[in-house]
Amino acid sequence: MKAILVYEPGGPEALTLADIPVPQPGPKEALVKIAAIGVNFIDIYFRSGLYKADLPISIGQEAAGTVEAVGAEVTGFAPGDRVAYAMARGSYAEYQSVPAAMLVKLPDTVPFESAAAAMLQGMTAHYLTHSTFPLKEGDTTLVHAAAGGTGLLIVQMAKMRGARVIGTTSTEDKAQLALAAGADEMILYTKQDFETESRRLTGGRGVDVVYDSVGASTFEKSLDCLRPRGMMVTFGNASGAVPATQPLALSQKGSLFLTRPTLMHYTLERKELLWRANDVLGWVGSGKLKVRVHQTYPLAEAAQAQIDLAGRGTSGKLLLKP
């Protein structure tokens, strides 16, 4: 089968289309014939070496497809089942053996493409808005990169929970997309000072929570957008990893809370994974949650997809097709 491997971390050219045997499912695994693959920033971190793994590194964390075979100890899944998964590395491929505990069955109403577009970023938006800082009516949130793949989903879920959403993005076109997704106000952080604007829009009070996937270039200033005892949720590094911070700064800026969460720790138990995935897929199936696919590429063009995602020109999800 064809699969993308990285023999030496580096630039996009490190993504190599290899011919390797179809994997055999282990006793607790299911072999999935992949129909659509989600592209995520984490794939870039493994390719570049920011995140470490044994060589050669299989790339990709998210896909949807059909179960072909199951290991001896697997219950609840059978060949022919339509499934999706996230956070199982090796999805840039035609087939993947995935722990059955990570699989979720797809409702008939959800096409493979929508599932591959929604699982990872959707469950991320879900845990951020429902668990890390459970938004409620009357809360105001600042969402960076609000027109990005994860950003558009956070905006929609924050609105479902009744919060007011102030978003940031780099261009007017992207701002229109975030507004269409439900954002109440947008700040063009490449032109406007987002601290000044957030303070102005909240009458000087500051926002209750910042969801920051941008990282290095937004972190410091985001702390200054919060109300006393507000929460800074730094969950990504699109502009680079956040540098070291002094706990004392959190006190000086208003007894702030700081967390650096990751999806893995919010789906540790099967029950929690199913809660998030079934909410997301259910909402996608009913049309309550809109997933915007920016572009779909052949698997062999994975490098171009990663270049485009890192190049800041995309809004919404990028997919690969095996």
| Choice from 238, 281, 303, 320 touching ligand NDP (CB under 6 A) | 238
CA-to-CA distance for 45 and 156, rounded, in angstroms?
A: 27
Task: Kindly write out the interface string for residues 32-51 of this chain, putting x where it contacts ligand NDP by CB under 6 A and - elsewhere.
Answer: --------xxx---------
Pick from 65, 230, 236, 285: which binds ligand NDP (CB under 6 A)? 236
Distance in Å, CB of 292 to ligand NDP, minimum: 10
Q: Which of 95, 235, 283, 297 binds ligand NDP (CB under 6 A)?
A: 235
Task: End-to-end CA distance of the chain: give it in Å, rounded.
Answer: 10
Q: Give the interface size with ligand NDP as a residue count (CB under 6 A).
A: 30
Task: State whether residue 234 is helix, strand or coil.
Answer: strand
Other CB atoms within 10 A of residue 37 CB: 34
For 23, the token pair is 């994997």
For ligand NDP, the nearest residue by Cβ is: 148
**Paired tokens of 111:** 């096409």
In this chain, which of 25, 90, 122, 148 binds ligand NDP, going by CB under 6 A? Answer: 148
**DSSP per-residue letters across 15-83:** EEEEE-PPPPP-TTEEEEEEEEEEE-HHHHHHHHTSS--PSSEE---EEEEEEEEE-TT--S--TT-EE
Distance CA 126, CA 140 (A): 17
Query: Which of 239, 245, 295, 304 forms a contact with ligand NDP (CB under 6 A)?
Result: 239
312 binds ligand NDP (CB under 6 A): yes
Residues in contact with ligand NDP by the rule CB under 6 A? 40-42, 120-121, 124, 145, 147-151, 169-170, 174, 213-214, 217, 235-239, 261-263, 309-310, 312, 314
